[in-house]
């Protein structure tokens, strides 16, 4: 019985191969059909639209909290002005970490008007130097502006009675 199974398995392998060579991988290079004759973007139009749109100008884009104590809640208001010619709409403010929370107005900021973005930092369970980023997305050119906070966290002083045995 074993001999019959072995013979059948060998015959199946021989007939399955058919002595055909394995196909080779294609070495054709796919090229992009874009030519030098393709139309170029009108850079003058881009400049005009950027100048006539909303422009966000921050007083500063980074803040150093200095040294804080672990567990302390630090916050800073990043002040800005819309120096453009259209209403400024902030669509999102995304922090790089869950310990950092940005707060901003969803209302349009008129040309010439001021606003602020409050960034809160929670130093619980953190020690030593830190640097966090908040990416502001708005109807400006460029679309994103990065705000940064940094500082140093000292451990909180020990409190309470010590247990001794």
Give, in order, the Cα–Cα distances in Å from 145 to each of 56, 58, 83, 108, 141. 9, 9, 15, 17, 9
Q: What is the pLDDT of residues 71-109, one digit of tens each?
A: 999 999 999 999 999 999 999 999 999 999 999 999 999
Q: Measuring CA to CA, which residue among 129, 131, 75 is closest to residue 102?
A: 75
Cα distance between residue 12 and residue 41, in whole Å: 63
Domains of the chain from N-terminus onward: 49-154 (2.60.40.10)
Q: What is the pLDDT of residues 8-44, one digit of tens each?
A: 555 555 555 555 554 554 444 444 444 444 444 444 4
């Amino acid at each position: 019985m074993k001999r019959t199974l072995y013979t059948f398995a060998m015959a199946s392998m021989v007939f399955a191969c058919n002595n055909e060579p394995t196909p080779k991988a294609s070495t054709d290079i796919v090229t992009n059909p874009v030519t030098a004759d393709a139309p170029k973007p009108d850079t003058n139009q881009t400049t005009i639209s950027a100048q006539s749109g909303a422009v966000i100008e921050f007083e500063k884009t980074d803040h150093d909290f200095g040294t804080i104590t672990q567990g302390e809640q630090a916050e800073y208001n990043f002040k800005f002005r819309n120096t453009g010619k259209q209403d400024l709409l902030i669509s999102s403010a995304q922090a790089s970490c869950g310990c950092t929370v940005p707060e901003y107005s969803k209302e349009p900021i008129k040309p010439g008007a001021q606003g602020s973005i409050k960034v809160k930092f929670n130093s619980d369970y953190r020690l030593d130097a830190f640097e966090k980023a908040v990416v502001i997305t708005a109807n400006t050119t460029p679309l994103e502006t990065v705000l940064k906070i940094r500082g140093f966290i000292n451990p909180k002083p020990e409190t309470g009675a010590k247990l001794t045995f």
